Amino acid sequence: MGQNNGPANKLEQILGERFGMEILNAMGMAIVVLDPNFNIIWANREYREIQEKPEDNIVGKKCYEISFGHNKPCTEEACAVIRTLRTKKNSKGLKIIKRGGEEKYLDVYSFPLAGPRGKLGYVVEVLQDNTQLYKLVELSDRLTAFASHELKTPLATIHQLATIVRQMDLSPEKRKVLLDRITSRSQHGLKTVENFLIYSKIKAGELEITPRKVNFYRDVLGRVLDFQKEYTFKKGMRFICDVPKDLEVICDADYVEVIYNNLLTNAIRYGAEGTEIFIGYNDKGDRYHYFSVATVSEPIPKEDREVIFKRYVTTRKNGSGIGLDVARELIEKHGGKIWVEPCYFLAGKRLWEETAGQEDKDKMKRGNNFVFTILKKLKET
């Protein structure tokens, strides 16, 4: 993308002799050449695309104007180019710019380019977009902290209860209660570990399901509700389930159990105390089974409903973003989809937005309904 001016033509000749212009444009890295006054002398295609100015004439403009919209250079601490201009040596840094509503993390490498008589004529800045890498590192740190937090509580409880059982003379009834609590807490820890193991399989592309025909209530929901009952009791919540007890579904029961545990954990954690959690089913006569989990809770904004199932996204404080992502992946393996929609509650009944009149809405509690589908005709294995 050469420009019709002397410096750019000379520079392209120098760079072409040393590197080859086609190589520079095919390296997959953004490259820009600046003069000592931070004016852009030449930029390759990738640089223009990162700056979202593929068709603009950016030659002659200041680099900080193009990247940040600033009217003065960055500080030396933040700018590898300034360090190269001062030291005449290679330098490295990190540039964070906002493009399309998202932050891009660019590793920056700055090299001096000698002009006539060995004086510093230009600085070559090479930018590598490592946004996904930085996001993965950030996610890894967040997941580690989240897993530590999620496992610390059940492990501490198990330790305390086991100590009591070992050291105190208890009646058989009290001993059974404590042992049941130990079992419950250990199951909670195992479910947390299970989520991370599934997540690892998803990232490695190794997740496979084993569908078979099951009694859905007995082989999935019954186990989930039994596991979650202690946590609902603590918040004064209760389940209202209208899934038919004779419903047969072709699915991987173990993985669908994971889906429900993640959705119900979410509902219990963020649902209002002393309210109901509605577990529903609908057969619309099409190719899918429709399942739902609805609870009274702070409504999820419309803009967040579009992204909460995407990888690495969480809209909740101290959340990991892993539970809904795992649920989405498992549902898609079952040929289905998952989404969230607003709903309303009145006197222990759940109403959908389209069936609730405006006058009724003013009297109702608001909440969220998570709906997911499973393909009816999955191939059994």
Interval 129-146 mean pLDDT = 72
| H or E, element range at 352 | strand 349-352
Residue 131 near residue 94, CB atoms below 8 Å: no
Residue 308 near residue 327, CB atoms below 8 Å: no
Asked if pLDDT for residue 24 goes beyond 90, the answer is no
Task: Write down the domain spans for the chain.
Answer: 6-129, 131-206, 208-381
Per-residue model confidence (pLDDT) at position 2: 44
Instruction: Tell me 297's DSSP state.
Output: B
Task: Tell whether domain 208-381 is in CATH 3.30.565.10.
Answer: yes
Asked if pLDDT for residue 1 goes beyond 60, the answer is no
Q: Where are the beta strands (DSSP E) in 83-169?
A: 91-99, 102-114, 120-129
211 — alpha (psi -120 to 50), left (phi > 0) or beta?
beta
Class for domain 131-206, per CATH?
mainly alpha
Minimum mean pLDDT range among 184-198, 200-214, 233-247, 252-266: 184-198
Instruction: Tell me, yes or no, if the two domains 6-129 and 131-206 fold the same way.
Output: no
Contacts of 62 (CB under 8 A, 6+ apart): 38, 39, 40, 73
Identify the band that residue 7 occupies on the pLDDT scale cut at 50, 70 and 90: low
Task: Report the distance separating Cα 58 and Cα 62, nearest Å.
Answer: 8
Which residues are 103's β-sheet partners? 98
Interval 108-130 mean pLDDT = 86
Task: Report the distance separating Cα 337 and Cα 329, nearest Å.
Answer: 9
Per-residue model confidence (pLDDT) at position 155: 78
Task: Report the distance separating Cα 245 and Cα 73, nearest Å.
Answer: 68
Tokens 């309303």, residue located: 344
Identify the band that residue 325 occupies on the pLDDT scale cut at 50, 70 and 90: confident
With a threshold of 0.75, does the pTM exceed it? Answer: no
Identify the band that residue 352 occupies on the pLDDT scale cut at 50, 70 and 90: low
Q: What digits encode the pLDDT tens for the residues 48-58?
A: 888 888 878 89
Asked if pLDDT for residue 45 goes beyond 90, the answer is no
Q: Is 135 exposed, middle or buried (CB count within 10 Å of its CB: 0-12, 13-18, 19+)? A: middle
Per-residue model confidence (pLDDT) at position 40: 94
Q: What digits encode the pLDDT tens for the residues 276-303?
A: 999 999 999 999 999 999 999 998 988 8
CATH of domain 6-129: 3.30.450.20
212-215/288-296 β-pairing: unpaired
